[in-house]
Amino acid sequence: MVKEKNDYILIDFTGLIKAMFNSLWFLIAVGVLGAVLTYAVGYIYTSNIQYTPMYSSTVKLYSTSAYSSASRTASTQMNDYYEIMRTRRVANQVISDFNLNMTYREFTGQISRSMVTDTNMMYITVMFPNAEVGKEILDDLITVTSAYALEIMGTIPVEVYDEAQVAERPSNVPVLPTKKLLVFGFAGSFLLAFLIVLFLFLSDNKVRTSEDVKAESKLDVLSAVLDKKNKKSPGINKASMQSLYGELRMIKPDAKTICFYTFSDENKGSVIKDYLSFLTEAGKKAVYLDTEITNPKWGIEVSEESKNSLNDYLEGKVNDIAKITSKDDGGNYIKPVQANNTIELLTGNSFDTLIDKLRSEYDVILVDTAPFAYSAEAKVIRGKFDVTIVVAQLGKTKREDCASLSNSFKENELDGVIVTNVKGNIKKKAFKREYGRFMGLY
């Protein structure tokens, strides 16, 4: 991922290597898939090519001057012989002999030669749609050429030392380059997948580790919460809450009110519920106070048990805390209902009075707030609590949001951060680092 500073950009190469390593199976899978698809496309293409089967007949010629004093001119004589073979006189004679429906250029285009390196030998090849006729054409071509060469040069410069044979199979059948297709298909797909992973990494603006959260927020990580999808999360997260309790006791031993903030929706409510359950099991009298009035997570109705909401107390309709408190899942909750006069309710004297009453009745008050980015109600109550904690969700909270939320508070107004959605194997060191030494994992 890329971190932009004032006049330069930092690239986390260690993180990049880890991302590539973690994506290795994806890269290999894409490479294999690309190789298979490339081969399949090549196979279908070659299978559907329309072509005329051409059979090649080859005769092997030897220079007659190889052992004479003129042996130095052997290659020249073979070149002369080949050029005589391609003359119109010879070509037209062969075309006439076989009554071929071909022009001079078409006929000579089917004739080719190859020299045998460091020898006085030459191969002459003729391509023709009929194998037997092609062999006969080549024989006639050699006979006519030799007669014309004798007439012009006074000698026949070459002799046949290996006669042409009837071809058994076409020589122009499309051949599928299997190895090349597989190699290039795999390499191309692997490179494409690599570039995709690289792009996603460089464009990633989310916090991925507790180190990221600490670097952006400039706050200490108090605890970490395991991804709820992990089967071992209940037991591990209970230990996480114990870690949080120990950290808070060291920060402010006498703290009673703990306020939780997020920039957007980062599983804050789930963390508060887990901590409430831990405190209840530990014998502490705790209450969950939800101040998100504009868009309450509980809907527009409160529980049947309490009949009243936070709004009723703040509006002066109810003075008894017990009447606005409900018990859900063994914990104490004070819930709001949706209202439009949020700021008036939270900045009035009734809210301060409520906090004072809760302090006298409960050991710990856990205050939930609206997302900092979406509502002013979270901002108007800051600074009223003993401890203020930020909740950041790995893989969701943006780096700039984490930094922005931290910068929105005064110095020393925030006490730490909790990271959620930690993934991984609890046996791995990377996982253990997310939980810290208070978890007792290492």
Determine contact, residues 40/32, Cβ cutoff 8 Å. Answer: no
DSSP track, 220-244? -EEEEEE-TTSTTHHHHHHHHHHHH
Using the predicted structure, report yes or no on whether residue 2 has a pLDDT greater than 80.
no
- pLDDT, one tens digit per residue, over 407-418 is 878 777 888 888
User: What is the pLDDT at residue 437?
Assistant: 41
DSSP state of 288: E
Report whether 409 contacts 255 (CB < 8 A): no
What average pLDDT does the segment 71-87 reach?
A: 80
Q: For the CA atoms of 169, 171, 176, 178, what is the dihedral angle to 10 degrees? A: 80
**Could you tell me if 41 and 68 lie in one domain?**
no
pLDDT at 229: 67
Q: What is the pLDDT of residue 71?
A: 46
* pLDDT of 302 strictly over 50: no
Q: Is residue 356 part of a domain?
A: yes
Residue-wise pLDDT for 308-330, tens only, equals 788 888 888 888 888 888 887 77
Q: Are residues 197 and 77 in the same domain?
A: no
With pLDDT > 90 as the criterion, what percentage of the chain qualifies? 21
Q: Which residues contact 433 (CB under 8 A, 6 or more apart)?
A: 209, 210
> Do 68 and 9 have their domain in common?
no
Are residues 218 and 343 located together in one domain of the fold?
yes
Query: Is the whole-model pTM more than 0.75?
Result: no
Tokens encoding 89: 């006189």
Domain annotation covers residue 167: no
Q: How confident is the model at residue 342, as a pLDDT? A: 80
Of 99, 132, 162, which residue is a domain's last? 162
CA 315/CA 309 separation, integer angstroms = 10
> CB burial class (10 A; 0-12, 13-18, 19+) of residue 34?
buried
- Backbone dihedral angles phi then psi of residue 110, each to the nearest 5 degrees: -95, 0
Residue 303 — pLDDT band, cuts 50, 70, 90? very low
Q: What is the CATH number of the domain that holds 60?
A: 3.30.70.1130
Higher pLDDT, 226 or 150: 150
Please say if the pLDDT value at position 30 is more than 80: yes
Question: For the segment 172-224, what is each residue's pLDDT rounded down to a tens digit?
Answer: 777 778 888 899 999 999 999 999 888 888 777 788 777 888 888 888 888 88
Average pLDDT (113-134) is 88
Residue numbers of the domain that contains 388: 210-439
Residue 358: CATH number of its domain: 3.40.50.300
* Higher-confidence position of 157 and 149: 149
Is residue 420 a part of any domain in this protein?
Answer: yes
| 80 — pLDDT class (breaks 50, 70, 90) | confident
CA 107, CA 100: separation in Å to the nearest integer? Answer: 9
Residues 115 and 246 in one domain: no
- The whole-number pLDDT of residue 35 equals 92
- Count of domains observed in the chain: 3
Distance CA 387, CA 249 (A): 11
Q: Within a domain: residue 226?
A: yes
What stretches of 231-279 adopt beta strand conformation (E)?
Answer: 257-261
CA atoms within 13 A on the CB side of 60: 8
Q: What is the dihedral of CA 235, 236, 242, 244, to 10 degrees?
A: -140
Choose among 130, 118, 119, 121: nearest CA to 162.
121
Same domain, 256 and 288: yes
Could you tell me if residue 168 is inside a domain?
no
Residue by residue, DSSP assigns 145-190 as HHHHHHHHHSS--EEEEE-----SS-S-PPP--HHHHHHHHHHHHH
Same domain, 228 and 112: no
Q: How confident is the model at residue 430 (pLDDT cuts 50, 70, 90)?
A: very low
Clarify whether residues 135 and 252 are in a common domain. Answer: no
Percent of the chain with pLDDT over 70: 86
Task: Supply angle C-alpha 195, 198, 204, rounded to 5.
Answer: 140
Q: 322 and 254 in one domain?
A: yes
Other Cβ atoms within 10 Å of 40 Cβ, number: 12
Whether the Cβ atoms of residue 399 and residue 206 lie closer than 8 Å to each other? yes
pLDDT at 199: 85
228-275 pLDDT, tens digit each:
666 555 667 777 888 888 888 888 888 899 999 888 766 788 888 888
Indicate whether 191 and 152 sit together in one domain.
no
Q: In this structure, are 256 and 110 located in the same domain?
A: no
| Final residue in a domain of this structure, among 162, 189, 223 | 162
Residue 414 included in any domain: yes
Shared-domain flag, residues 104 and 198: no
